[in-house]
């Protein structure tokens, strides 16, 4: 008997040749009894240790746990892959430092490691990615650390309210679901267009409402569940992401005139945020932890690339972002190379990265949930504007929410350059605009 955790096999492999899995194979169906969760490296510094924790969950059709054989394949750059297989065990992690250390050579400032994870057991077979090209993480020779000041939690910035709706039903109110012991569910997301109009996804009232100067000027009926998300493209198309209970998720484009178009099946998994780039839409999907292009929109990806690790940006670039411990790493992938990498080092514990965006000067704006434990617990969102190795500005934003929701659906940067936040209280919902800059 081979003990859990013992390496079963190792050697040179192709990414898919060993298992016979092929690009284009169907994605796992919801309810599959074998799942893989992992911690994505995303952006590593050359020479540092790269550990990838892998959690393979296997259960039989009888509903009892089963053993799973996990295979990690990795290759530096476009080189040949190496593979190793091991029985899953609590705390299992793969050390990909060797692959990462070989990629930045010949004076290159950055490169990448391709990898895939597969698990097999009585519960079936699962792999990340389920099809297409392997996943990637990037390795940069230089990721300069920049310290971020810890601001007093009470010092949250006050913004200007651009939309305020009391709870209720009708054109001048926002819907809220307050059934039984449910988590209160209000509008799940919003976005801002070039004219400063607010697109509010009101799931209780099953509509995508467009508000100008605080008044509803257009409404598109959309029966979507709470925890949906919306992103506006520059041409005014709104992409609405909705998740079904069975684990599938889809995207409904709403044209500039407000007409809802055919629903696009977008994938299986835990959908995070949706973002629009030009006329295309991408969804951040977990546990793949990568961005999937939404077929049926104007996606542009390389053949075989089923997903990309960074948030797609105009011009084929990607925004890399990852939270680890008290650090946030940011970088831009341009033509396969990492540029403008930076590491924000906080003095406080971090929650989710609610928003990250590049600015026009090679810097970034990041909004991170910061928190403090202990006898006087507190939390807030901290906005950080960084340019090269310099913090341009940082300030706190309120975190209190009356309704449930993801931090990633609560913030947007408008085309006017302003930062917008959706806030909820017992009275209703507000969208607040903040100026960016000031305070350090």
Partner 1 sequence: MKHRLLTIGIVGIALIGVAWARPSFATWSSTHCHGGSHLVSALKRVDARDYASVAVHEGYEWGGGCWNNDNRDDTPGAPDSGGEGPDCSGLVFKTWELRPEYGGEGFRWYANLTDVHGPYSAASFHSATPGLPFRDLAAKSRYATTYMDAFASLGHVGMIWSNAIPSQGGDYIVEAYNDANGTQVNVEDYRADTAYRAVRRKDWTPDCAPRCPVGGLVPRTVVLG
**Closer CB to partner 1, 274 or 370, in the complex:** 370
**Closer CB to partner 1, 183 or 265, in the complex:** 183
We find the least distance from the C-beta atom of residue 195 to partner 1, in angstroms, to be 30
CB < 8 Å & 24+ apart, contacts of 356-360: 356/311, 356/319, 356/321, 356/328, 356/330, 357/319, 357/413, 358/313, 358/319, 358/332, 359/385, 359/387
We find the least distance from the C-beta atom of residue 170 to partner 1, in angstroms, to be 20
Binding positions for partner 1, 366-405, rule CB under 8 A: 368-371, 373-374, 377-379, 399, 404
Burial class of residue 177 in the structure, from the number of CB atoms within 10 Å of its CB (0-12 exposed, 13-18 middle, 19+ buried): middle
Could you give the CA distance from residue 193 to residue 371 in angstroms, rounded to a whole number? Answer: 32
How many residues lie near partner 1 (CB under 8 A)? Answer: 81
Q: Which of 122, 131, 146, 177 binds partner 1 (CB under 8 A)?
A: 177
**DSSP classification of residue 101:** H
**DSSP classification of residue 102:** H
**Closer CB to partner 1, 23 or 401, in the complex:** 401
**Closer CB to partner 1, 71 or 237, in the complex:** 71
We find the least distance from the C-beta atom of residue 294 to partner 1, in angstroms, to be 19
Could you give the CA distance from residue 295 to residue 277 in angstroms, rounded to a whole number? Answer: 13
We find the least distance from the C-beta atom of residue 433 to partner 1, in angstroms, to be 23
Buried b (16+ CB within 10 A) or exposed e, 401-437: bbbebebbbbbbbbeeebbbbbbbeeebbbbbbbeee
Could you give the CA distance from residue 328 to residue 344 in angstroms, rounded to a whole number? Answer: 5
The pair of three-digit structure tokens given for residue 95, joined into one six-digit string: 């050390």
Binding positions for partner 1, 249-288, rule CB under 8 A: 270, 272, 284, 286-287
We find the least distance from the C-beta atom of residue 331 to partner 1, in angstroms, to be 13
Binding positions for partner 1, 201-220, rule CB under 8 A: 203
**Closer CB to partner 1, 10 or 147, in the complex:** 10
Q: Which residues pair with 277 in a beta bridge?
A: 280
Q: Which of 333, 341, 350, 432 binds partner 1 (CB under 8 A)?
A: 350
Q: Which of 68, 69, 92, 301 binds partner 1 (CB under 8 A)?
A: 92
Q: Is the peptide bond before 316 cis (omega within 30 degrees of 0)?
A: no
Binding positions for partner 1, 113-172, rule CB under 8 A: none
**Closer CB to partner 1, 110 or 237, in the complex:** 110
The pair of three-digit structure tokens given for residue 184, joined into one six-digit string: 């209160």
**Closer CB to partner 1, 104 or 288, in the complex:** 288
Could you tell me which stretch among 174-182, 274-282, 417-425, 428-436 binds partner 1 (CB under 8 A)? Answer: 174-182
Could you tell me which stretch among 94-102, 158-166, 233-241, 338-346 binds partner 1 (CB under 8 A)? Answer: 94-102
The pair of three-digit structure tokens given for residue 65, joined into one six-digit string: 């746990």
Q: Which of 191, 229, 250, 289 binds partner 1 (CB under 8 A)?
A: 289
**Closer CB to partner 1, 163 or 366, in the complex:** 366
Q: Which of 19, 97, 219, 393 binds partner 1 (CB under 8 A)?
A: 97
Say how many CA atoms lie within 13 Å of 74 toward its Cβ: 24
Q: Which of 77, 351, 413, 430 binds partner 1 (CB under 8 A)?
A: 351
**Closer CB to partner 1, 231 or 368, in the complex:** 368
Residues 6+ apart with CB under 8 A from 435: 418, 419
Could you give the CA distance from residue 53 to residue 45 in angstroms, rounded to a whole number? Answer: 18
Binding positions for partner 1, 407-426, rule CB under 8 A: 407-408
Could you give the CA distance from residue 268 to residue 266 in angstroms, rounded to a whole number? Answer: 7
Site for partner 1 contains 90 (CB under 8 A): yes
We find the least distance from the C-beta atom of residue 303 to partner 1, in angstroms, to be 25
Binding positions for partner 1, 298-337, rule CB under 8 A: 321-324
Could you tell me which stretch among 88-96, 156-164, 211-219, 230-238 binds partner 1 (CB under 8 A)? Answer: 88-96
The pair of three-digit structure tokens given for residue 2, joined into one six-digit string: 């081979």
The pair of three-digit structure tokens given for residue 261, joined into one six-digit string: 């178009």
Across 245-317, where does the E strand assignment appear?
A: 248-254, 264-268, 270-277, 280-286, 290-293, 311-312
We find the least distance from the C-beta atom of residue 39 to partner 1, in angstroms, to be 5
Binding positions for partner 1, 24-83, rule CB under 8 A: 30-31, 33, 37-40, 42, 51, 53-55, 57, 59, 63-65, 72, 74, 82-83
Site for partner 1 contains 297 (CB under 8 A): no
**Closer CB to partner 1, 211 or 411, in the complex:** 411
| Cβ atoms of 2 and 60 closer than 8 Å | no
Could you give the CA distance from residue 283 to residue 413 in angstroms, rounded to a whole number? Answer: 18
CA 29: distance to chain centroid? 22
């Amino acid at each position: 008997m081979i003990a859990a955790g013992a390496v079963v096999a190792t050697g040179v492999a192709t990414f898919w040749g060993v298992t016979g899995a092929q690009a284009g194979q169907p994605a796992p169906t919801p309810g599959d009894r074998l799942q893989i969760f992992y911690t994505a490296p995303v952006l590593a510094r050359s020479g540092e240790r790269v550990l990838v924790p892998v959690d393979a969950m296997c259960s039989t059709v009888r509903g009892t746990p089963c053993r799973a054989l996990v295979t990690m394949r990795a290759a530096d750059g476009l080189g040949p892959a190496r593979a190793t297989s091991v029985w899953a065990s609590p705390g299992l992690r793969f050390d990909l430092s060797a692959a990462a250390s070989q990629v930045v050579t010949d004076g290159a400032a950055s490169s990448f490691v391709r990898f895939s994870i597969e698990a097999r057991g009585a519960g079936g077979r699962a792999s990340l990615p389920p099809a297409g090209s392997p996943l990637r993480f990037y390795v940069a020779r230089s990721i300069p650390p920049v310290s971020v000041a810890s601001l007093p939690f009470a010092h949250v910035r006050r913004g200007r309210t651009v939309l305020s709706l009391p709870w209720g039903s009708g054109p001048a109110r926002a819907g809220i679901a307050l059934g039984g012991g449910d988590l209160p569910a209000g509008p799940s997301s919003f976005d801002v267009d070039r004219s400063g109009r607010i697109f509010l996804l009101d799931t209780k009232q099953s509509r995508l409402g467009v508000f100008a100067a605080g008044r509803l000027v257009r409404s598109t009926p959309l029966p979507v569940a709470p925890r949906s998300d919306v992103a506006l493209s520059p041409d005014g198309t709104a992409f609405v992401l909705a998740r079904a209970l069975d684990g599938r998720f889809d995207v409904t484009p709403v044209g500039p005139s407000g007409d809802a178009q055919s629903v696009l099946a977008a994938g299986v998994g835990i959908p995070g945020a949706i973002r629009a780039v030009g006329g295309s839409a991408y969804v951040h999907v977990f546990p793949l932890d990568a961005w999937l292009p939404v077929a049926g929109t104007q996606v542009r990806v390389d053949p075989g690339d089923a997903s990309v690790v960074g948030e797609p940006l105009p011009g084929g670039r990607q925004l890399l972002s990852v939270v680890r411990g008290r650090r946030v790493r940011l970088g831009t992938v341009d033509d396969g190379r990492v540029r403008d990498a930076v590491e924000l080092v906080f003095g406080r514990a971090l929650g989710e990265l609610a928003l990250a965006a590049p600015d026009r000067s090679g810097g970034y704006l990041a909004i991170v949930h910061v928190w403090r434990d202990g006898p006087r617990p507190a939390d807030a969102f901290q906005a950080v504007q960084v340019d090269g190795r310099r913090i341009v500005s940082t300030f706190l934003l309120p975190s209190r929410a009356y309704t449930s929701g993801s931090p990633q659906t609560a913030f947007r940067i408008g085309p006017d350059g302003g930062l917008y936040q959706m806030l909820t209280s017992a009275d209703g919902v507000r969208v607040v605009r903040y100026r960016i800059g000031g305070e350090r």
